[in-house]
């Protein structure tokens, strides 16, 4: 089984670059139960673990494509996540709307490298998701550089969670999760040392929004996805940069199932974003970064590192 995209970019209106699949067909979940309870409360959400087919149905109705992933945090969480193979199979079954990203646990050390290669080359994943706080690692630590080196070969983007975090929120010690690892400045080191590696900093990076804007402005290989917060709460500086310097660097994302596409899009419609910028954020920037416009994975992403946007 290898994923091939059948997404017709002329038939879709938007690309949601940040959707979580948190349960596989065997019922295994991304994280231990305690984290689902805490984050469901934090986001006040109902349907917390929809199946991949349910996610596909929702996005098909909206005429949108979606990037789907889980997070492999097995070392820190002492918990085996939902199956990546099952996730890719579900995306292949719904490849008119879904695009799979892989995930490996960097704390597996050298064992993470063949697994990343298997996911990219055998399963055909179109990017990778990391969550430095939940996985418990500092992405700028050079012990992880061999992994970034390997991933750079594939020419696909890496999405890193940045900023504040619903997982463990409101529990003693935040369930041991360290927010510092999600400071976007740690990704500035990775982006500088791997200029051919497209990096997506997920979410308005509360409380490090200015840092994120600076990095995405400075480095052509760094992007920001706007998921995880209702656009109602976007900082003014982010909205201002969306209209000028970052109009080609920002990506629509919800963080579904935590935030629904309807809720996000309604709040986005109320923001003072220029009309010509809206389709870039909702669709065009992602189509280019994910290489959806052409055959073969990540062609556009690979070219991105070399361009000076």
Q: State which residue has the least CB distance to Zn ion.
A: 255
Q: Which is nearer to Zn ion, 136 or 305 (CB)?
A: 136
Nearest distance from residue 223's CB to Zn ion, in Å?
15
Nearest distance from residue 175's CB to Zn ion, in Å?
16
Q: How many Å apart are CA 140 and CA 124, to the nearest integer?
A: 26
**Size, binding site for Zn ion by CB under 5 A:** 1
Nearest distance from residue 5's CB to Zn ion, in Å?
22
Q: Which is nearer to Zn ion, 16 or 255 (CB)?
A: 255
Nearest distance from residue 8's CB to Zn ion, in Å?
26
Q: Which is nearer to Zn ion, 174 or 196 (CB)?
A: 174
Q: How many Å apart are CA 115 and CA 108, to the nearest integer?
A: 10
Q: Does 211 bind Zn ion (CB under 5 A)?
A: no
Q: Which is nearer to Zn ion, 22 or 305 (CB)?
A: 22
Nearest distance from residue 20's CB to Zn ion, in Å?
6
Q: Does 188 bind Zn ion (CB under 5 A)?
A: no
Nearest distance from residue 202's CB to Zn ion, in Å?
6
Q: Which of residues 241-260 bind Zn ion (CB under 5 A)?
A: 255
Q: Which is nearer to Zn ion, 188 or 255 (CB)?
A: 255
Q: Does 89 bind Zn ion (CB under 5 A)?
A: no
* Binding site residues, Zn ion, CB under 5 A: 255
């Amino acid at each position: 089984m290898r994923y091939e995209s059948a997404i017709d970019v002329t038939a879709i209106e938007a690309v949601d670059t940040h959707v979580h699949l948190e349960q596989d067909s065997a019922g295994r979940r991304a994280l231990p139960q305690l984290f689902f309870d805490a984050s469901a409360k934090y986001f006040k959400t109902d349907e917390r673990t929809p199946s991949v087919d349910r996610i596909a149905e929702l996005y098909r109705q909206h005429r949108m494509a979606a990037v789907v992933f889980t997070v492999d945090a097995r070392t820190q969480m002492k918990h085996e996540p939902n199956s990546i193979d099952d996730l890719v199979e579900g995306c292949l079954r719904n490849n008119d709307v879904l695009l799979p990203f892989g995930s490996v646990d960097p704390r597996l050390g050298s064992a993470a490298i063949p697994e990343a290669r298997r996911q990219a080359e055998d399963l055909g994943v179109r990017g990778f998701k990391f969550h430095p706080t939940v996985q418990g690692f500092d992405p700028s630590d050079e012990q992880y550089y061999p992994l970034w080196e390997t991933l750079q070969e594939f020419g696909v983007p890496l999405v890193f969670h940045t900023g504040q975090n619903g997982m463990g929120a409101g529990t003693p010690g935040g369930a041991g999760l360290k927010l510092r690892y999600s400071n976007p400045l740690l990704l500035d080191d990775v982006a500088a040392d791997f200029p051919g590696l497209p990096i997506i900093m997920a979410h308005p990076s509360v409380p490090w929004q200015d840092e994120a804007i600076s990095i995405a402005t400075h480095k052509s290989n760094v992007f920001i996805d706007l998921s995880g917060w209702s656009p109602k709460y976007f900082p003014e500086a982010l909205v201002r940069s969306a209209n000028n310097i970052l109009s080609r660097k920002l990506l629509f994302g919800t963080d579904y199932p935590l935030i629904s596409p309807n809720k996000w899009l309604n709040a986005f419609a109320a923001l003072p974003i220029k009309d010509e910028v809206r389709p870039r954020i909702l669709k065009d920037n992602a189509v280019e970064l994910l290489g959806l416009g052409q055959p073969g994975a990540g062609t556009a992403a690979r070219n991105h590192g070399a361009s000076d946007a």
